[in-house]
Structure 1
Amino acid sequence: MQQLSMVDIDNIAHGAGILGTGGGGDPYIGRMLLAEEYRRGSVATLMDPDEVADDDLVVASAFMGAPSVVMERIPSGDEAVEALRVLERHLGRTVTAIVPMECGGLNSMIPLLVAAKTGIPIVDADGMGRAFPELQMETFGVYGVSGSPIAICDDRGHSVLVDTGADNLSMERHARGVAIRMGGVAYIAEYPMSGSDLKRTAIPRTLTLARSLGKAVTQAKSSGRSPLQAVIDSCTTSIYGHARLLLEGKVVDVARATSGGFVRGTAEIRAFDDSRSVELSFQNEHLIAKEGDTVLAIVPDLISVLDTETGLAINTESLRFGQRVQVIGIATPSIMRTPEALDVFGPSAFGVEEPWVPLENILVAGAVHRDA
């Protein structure tokens, strides 16, 4: 186990923004809450998956709802801790380790905040390898772990327990309804599992990857190197295995609305010389990048939008006309590519008609392929 410094937290926040594929919430808010907790003397401890005992009780911690609402209703930081305590009381057991639901955006920061506040170690793993908009879209559930009972808390001290047994899709629907009634955002503790199940179903060492991504971008900027190439190099030497630039240009159009607890919409990115144009479709996170009728990348592979100058990620709720950006694709790890996984979070799960084709197998004229 290792204690994380605020430099580590900053790097994880930057890297998780990239892995968040436009969603998962803005990590800045969580980073500021963690900075305050660290000033009080608390520290988050990172635990390798191999250090988790088979009989440990591990619980996933996160926020759920529309990321744009979090920007309007800043949490105190206690909501996710209360969700954990509500679930512990219901189970009659003490949680021995926390795991992120996803490694993207704010949802990389919330479990770190819970770890710092409670002293419970956080496992270097997660259940999505990116960010997804729905709770059943986790490798924990794909490989047989029940998401419920789930504890849901808001910023007013209200809490709700939902138990749908092994039906994770129903858990998502009930929990989503509760989160909407709570104002569009809530904080959760879910997927209570044994250490053995965690090691069998989680995507390993994704917080370490996020930290490496953030550090690589920071070092590239300070040394005058390309932040984009640093991101691509970090991804291609990880279990993700492949990354590429899809388009560099400017944002020329954004259509976005919050409905059903999600931020949905499209964005158009046009090359600086007007020779190419890519449309991104998103539901909290980017789902598909298309140039005309040609698919450049598609869920569950990652699609992220980076600021051209800084290499930092731009969330879907922060996309604005005129931004100069780089659209990148990152391949998913093998655990997210099985038929069982694609049934849960492949294109059809989002109503996307195009079939999934692995990013590394998509050959498109104009899309820049930069493997390490």
Structure 2
Amino acid sequence: MRKIGLQEIEDIALGAAVLGAGGGGDPYIGKLVAMGAVKECGEVTLLDPEEIPDDALIVPIAMMGAPTILSEKGIGGNEYKILSDMVTQFYGKKIYAFMPIEAGGVNSMLPIAAAARLGLPMVDADGMGRAFPELQMVTFTIGGMSASPMALTDEKGNSVIFNTVTNKWTEELARAVTMSCGGSVSVALYCMDGASLKKYAVKNIVTRSQKLGEAIRTVKDCKEGTPEENFLRFTEGFKLFKGKITDVLRETRGAFNFGKVMLEGINEYKGKQAFIEFQNENLTAAVDGRILATTPDLICLVDTETFHPVTTDALKYGKRVLVLGLKCFEMWRTAEGLDLVGPGYFGCETDYIPIEERVKGGDL
């Protein structure tokens, strides 16, 4: 158990935006929402998963929709209370704590804001260890847990509870309502007891995000090695490419950001070209036609000077970026995990090969 204040929020937002693999929305927007709530209502208590009673009701809070829309549409402020009341009434039980559903610029921050405003703690865990674009893409689905009953509300106060037959149906129906509500909404889903949380969640993801953000903030203070060497060391990441963005193809379709970014190599990669495809999150990275990483491993773009993450909605011509690959949570590498989030699900014409094998020049 420990407290989350303003400096912790800064670091969590920065680190989670890296783990968001290009998705999860603008970390600046999410940070402002969380910091405003903490300034007004006080610091938030962060609980270790092992501190949660087995019968406690834990509720993930998240934003659903296209991150580019959220940056313009904003959050009304009453969403957390509406969601909390809906869940409490449905279960007939008080909420013990909130938790994030994924790591990402916005969705790592909204549970902090909800916890601050409603006076509840937050759990140091999520359901992805990164960000994915669809609701069923969580470790809880692998564990056989249901996304519904799922509560949804928009900034105007329109609200609904879904009770669906599969988690994929939750995604389909909630996505349609999200589009009707302008492309972004707030949701509470995968409500669970403490025992299920301990069994299937990605533990200590908030702490990992915070340590990563702190390391990025202080990367140039390291006494040994270059900032880039230090960044790669503390992320345990694979350097895939370094280049200048030469073209960005992006469209919003079905409350998702789809697109491709083209890169022209700089420094040791001069003369080479790379492209990255994304659906909210980065899906594949290829250099001179050779795929070097695919989902569910993380593909992250960071600024070459500051190492701050560059999300898919912030891609722009001329930006110089380092393309980083990170290993995913081990549960995603199982057959069940790859069925949910592997390259085949997204229509990528390649099998999944772990990133550590691809970068060594394994069988592609």
Please indicate, yes or no, whether the TM-score normalized by the shorter chain is above 0.5. Answer: yes
CA distance in 2, matches of 1:226, 1:264: 35
Indicate if the aligned counterparts of 1:102 and 1:130 stay in contact, CA closer than 8 A.
yes
**One-letter code aligned to 2:213:** G
Unaligned runs of 5+ in 1: 237-242, 366-372
After superposition, what is the alpha-carbon deviation per residue over 1:70-105, rounded to whole angstroms, capped at 9, x for unaligned?
111121333234223212212221111212110122
Q: Residue 319 of structure 2 aligns with which residue?
A: 323
1:299 aligns with 2:298: no
Q: For residues 277 and 149 of structure 1, do their structure 2 counterparts lie closer, same or farther at Cα, with a shift above 3 Å needed?
A: same
**One-letter code aligned to 2:164:** T
Q: Residue 200 of structure 2 aligns with which residue?
A: 201
Which of 252, 260, 270 is residue 254 of structure 2 equivalent to? 260
Indicate if the aligned counterparts of 1:63 and 1:80 stay in contact, CA closer than 8 A.
no
Indicate if the aligned counterparts of 1:66 and 1:261 stay in contact, CA closer than 8 A.
yes
Equivalent pairs counted in the alignment come to 358
Q: Residue 368 of structure 1 aligns with which residue?
A: none
Q: For residues 307 and 158 of structure 1, do their structure 2 counterparts lie closer, same or farther at Cα, with a shift above 3 Å needed?
A: same
- Secondary structure of the residue aligned to 2:300 is strand
1:352 aligns with 2:348: yes
Q: How does 1:39-118 map to 2 (within 5 A)?
A: 39-118=39-118
CA distance in 2, matches of 1:196, 1:14: 30
CA distance in 2, matches of 1:231, 1:20: 17
Q: Residue 248 of structure 1 aligns with which residue?
A: 242
**One-letter code aligned to 1:195:** G
CA distance in 2, matches of 1:349, 1:59: 27
**One-letter code aligned to 1:308:** T
**One-letter code aligned to 1:126:** D
CA distance in 2, matches of 1:36, 1:250: 35
Q: For residues 108 and 228 of structure 1, do their structure 2 counterparts lie closer, same or farther at Cα, with a shift above 3 Å needed?
A: farther
After superposition, what is the alpha-carbon deviation per residue over 1:135-171, rounded to whole angstroms, capped at 9, x for unaligned?
0000011111100010000010110111104x00001
- Secondary structure of the residue aligned to 1:221 is helix
1:211 aligns with 2:210: yes
**One-letter code aligned to 1:135:** L
Q: Residue 159 of structure 1 aligns with which residue?
A: 159
Shift of 1:228: 3.8
Indicate if the aligned counterparts of 1:296 and 1:364 stay in contact, CA closer than 8 A.
no
Q: Residue 369 of structure 1 aligns with which residue?
A: none
CA distance in 1, matches of 2:296, 2:214: 25
Shift of 1:29: 1.0
CA distance in 2, matches of 1:19, 1:229: 19
Indicate if the aligned counterparts of 2:274 and 2:289 stay in contact, CA closer than 8 A.
no
Q: Residue 359 of structure 2 aligns with which residue?
A: 363
Indicate if the aligned counterparts of 2:60 and 2:100 stay in contact, CA closer than 8 A.
yes
- Secondary structure of the residue aligned to 1:108 is coil
CA distance in 1, matches of 2:123, 2:234: 21
RMSD (Å), alpha carbons: 1.5
Q: Residue 180 of structure 1 aligns with which residue?
A: 179
After superposition, what is the alpha-carbon deviation per residue over 1:257-289, rounded to whole angstroms, capped at 9, x for unaligned?
001110000001111254211100000000000
1:19 aligns with 2:22: no
Q: For residues 89 and 334 of structure 1, do their structure 2 counterparts lie closer, same or farther at Cα, with a shift above 3 Å needed?
A: same
1:138 aligns with 2:138: yes
- Secondary structure of the residue aligned to 2:50 is helix
Q: How does 1:234-245 map to 2 (within 5 A)?
A: 234-236=234-236, 243-245=237-239
Q: For residues 328 and 76 of structure 1, do their structure 2 counterparts lie closer, same or farther at Cα, with a shift above 3 Å needed?
A: same
1:123 aligns with 2:123: yes
Which deviates more, 226-235 or 24-33?
226-235
Q: Residue 7 of structure 1 aligns with which residue?
A: 7
CA distance in 2, matches of 1:12, 1:203: 16
Shift of 1:364: 5.3
Shift of 1:227: 4.5
Q: Residue 147 of structure 2 aligns with which residue?
A: 147
**One-letter code aligned to 1:13:** A
**One-letter code aligned to 2:169:** S
CA distance in 1, matches of 2:125, 2:345: 24
Q: For residues 89 and 58 of structure 1, do their structure 2 counterparts lie closer, same or farther at Cα, with a shift above 3 Å needed?
A: same
CA distance in 1, matches of 2:122, 2:231: 24
**One-letter code aligned to 1:299:** T
CA distance in 2, matches of 1:191, 1:351: 26
CA distance in 2, matches of 1:125, 1:102: 9
- Secondary structure of the residue aligned to 1:160 is strand
Using the aligned pairs only, state the percent identity: 39
1:191 aligns with 2:223: no
- Secondary structure of the residue aligned to 1:329 is strand
Shift of 1:338: 1.2
**One-letter code aligned to 1:251:** I
Indicate if the aligned counterparts of 1:303 and 1:328 stay in contact, CA closer than 8 A.
yes
- Secondary structure of the residue aligned to 1:152 is strand
Q: Residue 171 of structure 1 aligns with which residue?
A: 170
TM-score normalised to structure 1 length: 0.93
Q: Residue 239 of structure 1 aligns with which residue?
A: none
- Secondary structure of the residue aligned to 2:299 is strand
